[in-house]
């Protein structure tokens, strides 16, 4: 169960998060991942400099947590390649598995037409951001927070609280893709696909750890980008 070790997850996720944030600043990317926009809109009443300051404070805090945890319990970095291989295997299997569960429904079916992006590399960069920020928001914060609150404030058992949190966070994950300025028009098949995919990601987060779902999401989105490019 090395993949669930929080130190290893932080050692794998934090450098990718920092690299993504630095790259987005250096290239002055004209777009941001939807999960980042949702967080910004939730804080929309605050001054922009304060939001930027909070973003930097969050990054500093998570880097600090990574360093402190690594000193207390050094991560098993020798196992990192197995975590990445596991994430890649799950990413390759996710689309066919969800499509099979839903009778062939997939995100590639009747996909909405999207506007041309300013640079050909931008979708790949945004896919990295999606894997990072969507898993931080929907699995780490929402799923983790719900599991804690339901387990603490209701009489249900701990496994039941986790199950409730996984289902609710998956539904929120699916809804989020259809709301706001960056949302897609609602289509039941795509909503169902993301609900099932979100449930699978939630289960993997609970039992395999944050690093697995972050890199699985990144690899899955990058594979979709490559498929779109070749098609």
Residue 134 near residue 174 (C-beta atoms within 8 A): no
pLDDT higher than 60, residue 89: yes
Q: How confident is the model at residue 117 (pLDDT cuts 50, 70, 90)?
A: low
The torsion of the CA quartet 22, 28, 33, 34, rounded to 10 degrees, works out to: 130
Q: How many domains does the chain have?
A: 1
pLDDT tens digits, one per residue of 21-45:
888 878 877 666 666 665 555 555 5
Q: How far apart are CA 127 and CA 133, in angstroms?
A: 10
Q: Which pLDDT score, from 0 to 100, does residue 41 have? A: 56
Q: How far apart are CA 15 and CA 8, in angstroms?
A: 12
Neighbours of 226 (CB within 10 A): 12
pLDDT higher than 90, residue 162: yes
pLDDT higher than 60, residue 170: yes
Average pLDDT along the chain: 80
Q: How far apart are CA 152 and CA 197, in angstroms?
A: 27
Domain extent, residue 154, equals 2-230
The torsion of the CA quartet 85, 208, 211, 108, rounded to 10 degrees, works out to: 70
More confident residue, 44 or 67: 67
pLDDT tens digits, one per residue of 171-185:
999 998 888 666 788
pLDDT tens digits, one per residue of 204-224:
999 999 999 999 999 999 998
pLDDT higher than 80, residue 194: yes
| CA angle centred on 130, ends 129 and 132, rounded to 5° | 65
């Amino acid at each position: 169960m090395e993949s669930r070790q929080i130190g290893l997850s932080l050692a794998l996720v934090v450098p990718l998060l920092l690299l993504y944030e630095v790259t987005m600043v250096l290239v002055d990317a004209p777009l941001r991942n939807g999960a980042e926009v949702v967080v910004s809109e939730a804080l929309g009443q605050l001054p922009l400099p304060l939001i930027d300051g909070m973003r930097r404070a969050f990054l500093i805090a998570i880097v600090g947590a990574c360093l402190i945890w690594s000193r207390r319990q050094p991560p098993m970095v020798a196992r990192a390649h197995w975590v990445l291989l596991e994430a890649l295997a799950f990413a390759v299997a996710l689309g066919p598995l969800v499509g099979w569960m839903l009778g062939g429904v997939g995100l590639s079916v009747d996909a909405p037409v999207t506007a041309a992006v300013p640079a050909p590399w931008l979708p790949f960069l945004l896919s990295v951001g999606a894997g990072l920020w969507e898993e931080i928001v929907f699995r780490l914060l929402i799923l983790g927070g719900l599991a804690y609150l339901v387990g603490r404030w209701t009489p249900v058992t701990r496994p039941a609280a986790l199950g409730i949190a996984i289902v609710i966070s998956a539904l929120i994950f699916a809804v989020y893709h259809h709301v706001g300025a960056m949302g897609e028009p609602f289509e039941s098949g795509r909503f169902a696909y993301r609900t099932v995919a979100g449930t699978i990601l939630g289960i993997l987060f609970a039992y395999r750890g944050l690093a697995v779902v972050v890199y699985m999401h990144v690899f899955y989105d990058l594979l979709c980008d490559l498929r779109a490019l070749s098609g």
